[in-house]
Structure 1
Amino acid sequence: MKIKQAVDRIPGGLMLVPLFLGALCHTFFPGAGKYFGSFTNGLITGTVPILAVWFFCMGAGIDVRATGTVLRKSGTLVLTKIAVAWVVAMIAVNMLPVEGITKGFFAGLSTLALVAAMDMTNGGLYAALMKQYGSDDEAGAFVLMSIESGPLVSMIILGSSGAASFEPQLFVGAVLPFLVGFVLGNLDTELRGFFGQATQTMIPFFAFALGNTIDLFVIGKTGFLGIGLGVVVIIITGIPLILADKFIGGGNGTAGIAASSTAGAAVSNPVIIATMKPEFAAIAPAATALVATSVIVTSVLVPMLTAWWSKRSASGGEGNGSLAKGA
């Protein structure tokens, strides 16, 4: 059976398929973890420890010796994405109730959901698109995008916008596994290869555990809103990213479009943040469902928009040599 090939045909499938299976388990067999206990319970309920290992491996896989072009491109895109998410958070804090919207079409929408959907780019999707429509240096810009992975950036945005307050040690705890992995991976290239290759392997495991926090009936209620959120993420983050790529990053905007997605790992942020700030616990399931839908929508639309923009830029004479060749 070609299970892996079938999963790979689905945008973000390595994350979304186990997530859906976990959600099925939680929706129809909510007591499965306690019933089986032991290792099975650990796999079902182990979102945070599994993610901790994943963040460590993610850090270990980053090579600090990146070229100046890669750092400029990735830094521009990462800072722009974070800045846009922060502006959205500032607006949302003043417009949305702390507990989010609880009634009507926008039920489930919260500052937490907006920040989680907008502040992280799908680095794997970006790298794949820029390999096809950009240059190697542009594809390498996903290096700094890995820093966005995890709850730290979301915590900083929520804290600085007034949506939440976090104790200093929580910020350290959120980034420490990543930093330890980063240091070890750059001290020893063999360790970088050893731990770095585990990054992809860990995704289905934390996705399944994360899915076991989601009730599918919640996704059903937020489905159309989640689709709308995905489109909004592309528009609101995509336009500034295009401008930043053209006027700061030295590109033609293609990299900006390619970076306007929602990262699969962002699905975990509402739950992780809720474990640190219990006041978010009530809205975390709806936020998780919205972000998961945004991941799917952006994973489908961003590649199509990137291809269109690349061809448009090349035909208009804006593309560089590698972009024209890629198109």
Structure 2
Amino acid sequence: MPIKRTVEKIPGGMMLVPLLLGALINTFFPDTAVFFGSFTEAIFKGALPLIAVNLFCLGTTMHFKAAPAIVKKGGALLFAKVGVAALVSIIAAKFIGDGMVLGGLSVLAIVAAMNDTNGGMYISLMNQFGKKEDVGATTIMSLESGPFLTMITLGIAGLSVFPWQYMLGAILPLVIGMVIGNLDHECRDLFGKAVPALIPFFAFGLGYGINLKNVYQAGLTGILLGLSVILITGTVCFIADRLTGGTGVAGIAASTTAGNAAAVPAVIAASNPEYAAVAPSATVMVAASVVVTAILVPILTAWWAKRVSTSQQIKENPHLRHDVV
């Protein structure tokens, strides 16, 4: 039974299929993980440790000379994503202010949805369609996670010192893997083979953190927010990717909303009571954006990666143009 080949026929299938399976289980049978417990529960809820292991294994396949490219790519995508979120929030604030429009849309919802990239999905997609440097870029992009940059974007005071431990913790697995892989090529061969095998496991865990009912609760406004995140941040990140020597694949893959972004409105409201009234609605809106981007971005990334690959093949072998046409 060709399960792997069948799944791979779906754009981004090794990521998308397990993710949707996890989301469906969480939506209709949310107590499944707790019911079985033990190792089964660990698989359902173990996305973060598996992503950390994936970063370590990926690091073993990288040479030290790739470090500047990682910083360059990660920095470009980080500033593109956060920069466009800040710009959109400034424009939205002129029309919305501190209130809500269009069924619950607020500046808080817009910023929280646009600021934070789904790092696990980005890693998975880059493992399949990107370069090693593109995957490593997530160690820089992980600075988007949590409420810090959202607070900065909204102009909220109170976090004057960035938690350097978080910065270091985000990059340590990759760095340790790079050191070990560069010291011993046998370790590189051993751990490097595990990278693609880990994708469906942490994709399933990421999916189990998604509740598809959030899309229904948010309605058309939540869906439009998710589409806007893809269109606006995806366009800017695509350009940033191309300007740093990429094909645009990494830029498209970065146009998601992270699952933990749904928790940001509540944290913001706790820090600044002015946002308390809009926080509940913003949470639902951001959750809807998480689902919409999680479903569409893998498909778009796979489509563009295939197009780039085809164009490259035609460039190298002009006679293939007639076969493609």
Instruction: Please state which band the TM-score falls in when normalised by the shorter chain.
Output: 0.5 to 0.7
Alignment partner of 1:83 out of 79, 82, 85: 79
After superposition, the C-alpha distances for 1:9-47 in whole angstroms (9 at most, x for unaligned) are 33333333333333333433345555x26338835873x
Aligned equivalent of 1:52: 49
Matched, 1:18 2:18: yes
Which range is displaced more, 73-82 or 293-302? 293-302
Alignment partner of 1:197 out of 169, 178, 194: 194
Aligned equivalent of 2:293: 294
CA contact (8 A) 1:26 1:215 kept: no
2:252 alignment partner, SS class? coil
Alignment partner of 1:182 out of 175, 192, 197: 175
Percent identical: 18
Scaled by the length of structure 1, the TM-score of the pair is: 0.66
Supply the distance in 2 between the matched residues of 1:283 and 1:105 (Cα, whole angstroms): 7
CA contact (8 A) 2:118 2:258 kept: no
CA contact (8 A) 2:12 2:302 kept: no
Pairing of 1:124-143 with structure 2 (within 5 A): 125-126=125-126, 129=129, 139-143=131-135
Pairing of 1:145-184 with structure 2 (within 5 A): 145-148=137-140, 150=142, 152-155=143-146, 157-162=149-154, 172-173=165-166, 176=169, 178-180=171-173, 182-183=175-176
After superposition, the C-alpha distances for 1:144-199 in whole angstroms (9 at most, x for unaligned) are 3241465x333453354346665968662475265156325623646664487164
Supply the distance in 2 between the matched residues of 1:22 and 1:311 (Cα, whole angstroms): 32
CA contact (8 A) 2:109 2:286 kept: yes
1:103 alignment partner, SS class? coil
CA contact (8 A) 2:33 2:44 kept: yes
For residue 154 of structure 1, what is the amino acid of its counterpart?
A: S
Q: CA RMSD in A?
A: 4.6
After superposition, the C-alpha distances for 1:27-68 in whole angstroms (9 at most, x for unaligned) are 33345555x26338835873xx54134224413431486364
2:248 alignment partner, SS class? helix
After superposition, the C-alpha distances for 1:63-110 in whole angstroms (9 at most, x for unaligned) are 486364x44544333221111122123234443579995633957942
Scaled by the length of structure 2, the TM-score of the pair is: 0.66
After superposition, the C-alpha distances for 1:240-290 in whole angstroms (9 at most, x for unaligned) are 333x23xxx4xxxxx242222135985333257679778578644532431
For residue 299 of structure 1, what is the amino acid of its counterpart?
A: P
1:62 alignment partner, SS class? helix
Alignment partner of 1:144 out of 122, 128, 136: 136
Pairing of 1:22-33 with structure 2 (within 5 A): 22-33=22-33
For residue 145 of structure 1, what is the amino acid of its counterpart?
A: A
Aligned-pair distance for 1:201?
5.1
Give 5+ residue unaligned stretches, structure 1.
131-138, 250-254, 315-321
For residue 49 of structure 2, what is the amino acid of its counterpart?
A: A
CA contact (8 A) 1:80 1:241 kept: yes
Aligned-pair distance for 1:219?
7.0
For residue 294 of structure 1, what is the amino acid of its counterpart?
A: T
For residue 238 of structure 2, what is the amino acid of its counterpart?
A: G
Supply the distance in 2 between the matched residues of 1:119 and 1:85 (Cα, whole angstroms): 13
Aligned equivalent of 2:37: 38
Alignment partner of 1:259 out of 250, 265, 275: 250
2:137 alignment partner, SS class? helix
